[in-house]
Copies of this chain bind each other. A is one copy, B any other.
Amino acid sequence: MLNFHPNVTQPSQAALERALLLLHRALGPSKVLSARESCEVYSHDDSEAEGRMPDAVVLASSAEDIATTLRIAEETAVPVTPRGGGTGRVGGAVPSAGGIVLSTLGMKQVKEIDRRELLAVVEPGLVLADLHAAVEAEGLFYPPDANSLLACAIGGNVATNARGPRAFKYGVTRNYVLGVEATLIGGRSFFAGRRTTKGVTGYDVTSLLVGSEGTLAVFGDITLRLIAKPESVMTLMALFPNIQASCRAVESIIVMGLVPRCIELLDHGTLEAVRRAGNALNAQAGAMLLMEVDGPGLEVERQAARVGELCDEAGALEVLVAQDAGQRDRLWAARREMSPAVRRMAKHKLSEDVVVPRGKIAELLLRVARTGERLQLRNVTYGHAGDGNLHVNFLWDDESEVPRVEQGIEQLFRDVVELRGTLSGEHGVGLMKAPYLHLEQSETLIELQRGLKNVFDPHQLLNPGKIFSADRSHGAC
C-alpha cells in the first residue's frame, strides 16, 4: 500500500456529529452506516491508495437521498466522497478527508430502453455487465467494456470516463452519455445534456461532468446512447518473437484502414507470467496480440483474414483464429489469466495506465526496460495497443524497494510526456496521479480547471484531494 495524504482540511468533531445526527434523522438508520466495521470497506477502493476511515456511509436509494446528503454535507461543512462499485485504480473513491461516503450502488434500476431512439436511462448503481445484458437482450449494444465490468457501476464509469478494450473502434464512455441528472453539493439538482444525439445549446456541461471523478457533482439517472449490436465477432490471437514485430503488425493494420474492435498487447514478461500460471504458450513468443473484429458476417471474415495476413507479414510465429465460442474463450484465457498471474509474481503490484502515440509503443517499452535495469525494478506490460494505452506494472516484495518504485513511476511519466503521451488512458488521476499532473499539463490549464471546480464546489467539500492535490508523502507498503 502507498499512503497518500493530500493536503485536505478535515471536518471538526462537532461538525461530524451534527452531520451524522441530521443524516440519521433525514434518512433513517438503515441508510446511514457509522460503525467502524461496516465503514471499513468504504475506506479504500481497488487501488494501492490508503485513505481515511469514513465517519459515515450513506447508502442512497433515490435521487432524494443524494440531494438530502449533499444538503446536510454543505450545511455542516463535512466532505463527501461519492462511490460507485469501488473498483477504481487511483483512489478516486477513497475518502481522503474522512467525512461522508455517498454510495449510489443501491440504485440499480434500468428505467428505460428505447429501441427507436437508441437510448437507455439507468440509475448510477447499475453494474456494467447488467447494463450490457439488458441492452443486448433488446438487440442493442453499449460498447464501453471496462475490465471490471462484473463489479463496476455505470455511475463510476461516467465519473471516470471509463473505457476498455473495445475503445479502439467504439470510443469511450463520454461518447455514449447523452445526459445526466446531477446534484451539486448543497443539494440542488439539474439535468445536463439531452435525449437526442445532436444538440448544441450552451456549453457541454455533460462532457465536463463525465470524467470529473466525483469532484463536481453526484450523478442520478444517466441517459446513454446505444448502437445496434454487431452481427458477428471474430477473435484472433497472434504470437510474435518480440514487441517490435507485434508493433509492426499493429501499425500495418491501422495504416491499411482496418478497425478491429480491440487490439490487446501482452509483452514478454506478461507471457512468462501466463506460462507460469499453466497456459502452454509457444516458448519462442515474446509478444502476443489478441484481437477482435466485429460487424456484418461476411465483412468480419474478410477483415479477420486480412488482419491475420498482416500479422504474418509482420513476422508472427503463429496466428490462431477462433472458429467457435469455445475456441474464442480459450484465446481470451491468456488475457484473463494475465492480471492474477502477474499479481502472483510479487507481493506488491502497481499498474500504471499510460498512453503514448501508438507509433511510440515499442520505444516506451524499451525505455521501461532500461529503467527497470537501472533501478533493479521488475516490470511487465500489457494494454490496449490500438490506442497506445499501456498498463506498465511495477512489482516488488519488500518495503525497501518502494523508493525505487517511486523513481520508476516518475521516470515512466517523464518518458510518456516526452513521447507526447498522457499519464492516464482510463484510470483517471484520483489521489495517486495528482502529484504528477503538472508533468503533463501547463499551469494555465490546471488553474482553469481549479476555477471550474470552484464553480461547482466553492468550499471544496466534494471528493476533496482528488485530481489537483499537490501534496504527497510516501508511506509503508
Contact = CB atoms under 8 A, between A and B. Distances in A.
Interface in A220-272: 227-229, 231, 251, 254-255, 257-259
B171 A422 contact: no
Contact of A254 (B118, B388, B433): B118
A475 interface: no
B207 A204 contact: yes
B201 A208 contact: no
A23 B455 CA distance: 34
Contact of A445 (B205, B227, B449): B205
Interface residues of A, number: 89
Nearest to A119: B357
Determine which residue in A115, A175, A195 has the highest number of CB atoms from chain B within 10 A of its CB, and name it.
A195
A133 B251 CA distance: 24
A199 B355 contact: yes
B190 A444 contact: yes
A332 interface: no
Contacts of A455: 448, 451-452, 454-455
A191 B442 contact: yes
Interface in A83-106: none
Nearest to A251: B116
A64 interface: no
A426 B254 contact: no
Contact of A429 (B167, B201, B205, B433): B201
A202 B116 contact: no
A117 interface: yes
Contacts of A205: 445, 448-449, 452
B389 A203 contact: no
A42 to B, nearest CB: 23
A258 B229 CA distance: 10
A198 B426 contact: yes
Interface of A: 115-118, 139, 160-161, 163, 167-168, 171-172, 174-175, 184, 188-192, 194-205, 207-208, 210-212, 216, 227-229, 231, 251, 254-255, 257-259, 295-296, 298-299, 302, 355-359, 384, 387-389, 420-429, 433, 437, 440-442, 444-446, 448-449, 451-456, 467
13 contacts: A116-B255, A116-B358, A116-B359, A118-B254, A194-B420, A197-B388, A198-B388, A200-B211, A201-B440, A203-B212, A228-B259, A296-B302, A455-B455
